[in-house]
Amino acid sequence: MNAVSQTSDPVSDYPDPVRHILLVTLSNIGDAVMTTPVMAALHKKHPEAVMDIVADPRSSELFAHCPYRNRVIHRDKQQGWRGSLALVRDLRRCHYDLIVDLRTDGLAWLLRGRRRLTRQGARRPEGHAVERHMEVIRRYIGTAGIPPTRLWFDGSELEFASRVLADLPGRRWLALGPGARWEPKRWPSGLFRELVLSRREDFDAVVLLGSAADKDCCRSIAEGLSLPCLDLAGRTSLLEAAALLSHMQLFIGNDSGLGHIAAAAGIPTLTLFGPGEPQRYHPWNSRGRWLQSPNRDIRTLPVSHVADALKELLRETEPQEV
């Protein structure tokens, strides 16, 4: 992979220690998760540095417990140019050793910093979004591999997950994320239900996750299901959902932030696409798989195809006997 930097000089021209980094992340929950490999790579290069993070109010919770985080600053598009001006004024109070902007083309140049790495001029590979983000810093960090996505919990979120899951039978728990922000990305709840019933022998219980907007579809899946079912739609924070997902055997869901959170929690994922670009935006996970309806209409994705992919993913990820 060719290395491209937005700094014309080689990294060796900057011997001064880096103590304070600014990272501008992306807005949506899944996009924000996919910027965490960049965070990890920068932290590995500068383990003593602290990082200010510009994030969207929707996704900033994901960075709450990052151990090398300093400030989280909100960039709210709803506030228009006044919000942008206030953001610049706030950020200009600091003089950063390194500014990495994965989101905009101009913000970094309005701020005070010794060096800047932005999307401008960066090579944009045809591969995954995580690879595109890493290209912004590739020459700066060298040729090391791409870290996995990850999230950070504290004791309260882990305690919440243990308490909520305490009464579920067995340990073979299937997590479902049947929601999405855009209706064409939603596989019908009836098909999720049919899928669970077709593979019920593989699981001891089902956990339904989503926002308050997903309550109706989760309720329609849960009602009368022959497997024990825990419906948590609208009842968790993002990090509580992540802590819950870390206990699951597998996650199946639509193209949404939950799939990326599940991948960052380290479990196998199966993501269902109608519209969209799965090669670029599927959850970044070596144990992740995806399916897309051939006509890009997710309603026509057959249950049998999803069931076969689920069966294969279970086979690939089951512990091997020694």
| pLDDT on residue 14 | 52
Q: Which of 266, 241, 231 is nearest to 157 (CA)?
A: 241
| pLDDT at site 9 | 41
- 123 phi, psi to nearest 5 deg: -65, 135
pLDDT score recorded for residue 11:
47
Q: Phi and psi dihedrals of 169, rounded to 5?
A: -75, 155
Q: Which domains does the chain have, with CATH numbers?
A: 11-141 (3.40.50.2000), 155-317 (3.40.50.2000)
> What is the structure's pLDDT at 320?
52
* Per-residue pLDDT at 7: 41
pLDDT in tens, the chain (322 residues): 333 334 434 444 455 789 999 999 999 999 999 999 999 999 999 999 999 999 999 999 999 999 999 999 998 777 778 888 999 999 999 999 999 999 987 899 999 999 999 988 666 667 899 999 999 999 899 877 899 999 999 999 999 999 999 999 999 999 999 999 999 999 999 999 999 999 999 999 999 999 999 999 999 999 988 899 999 999 999 999 999 999 999 999 999 999 999 999 999 999 999 999 999 999 999 999 999 999 999 999 999 999 999 999 999 987 655 4
Beta strands in the chain (DSSP E): 20-24, 50-55, 69-74, 95-96, 98-101, 112-113, 116-118, 173-177, 205-208, 229-231, 250-254, 269-273, 288-292
DSSP string covering 71-117, please? EEEE--GGGHHHHHHHHHHHHTTSEESEEEESS-SSGGGGSEES-EE
Give the DSSP H/E element, type plus range, for residue 259: helix 257-264
Distance CA 166, CA 8 (A): 55
pLDDT at residue 172, rounded to an integer: 97
Query: Is 233:179 a contact under the CB 8 Å cutoff?
Result: yes
- For residue 51, the SS3 value is strand
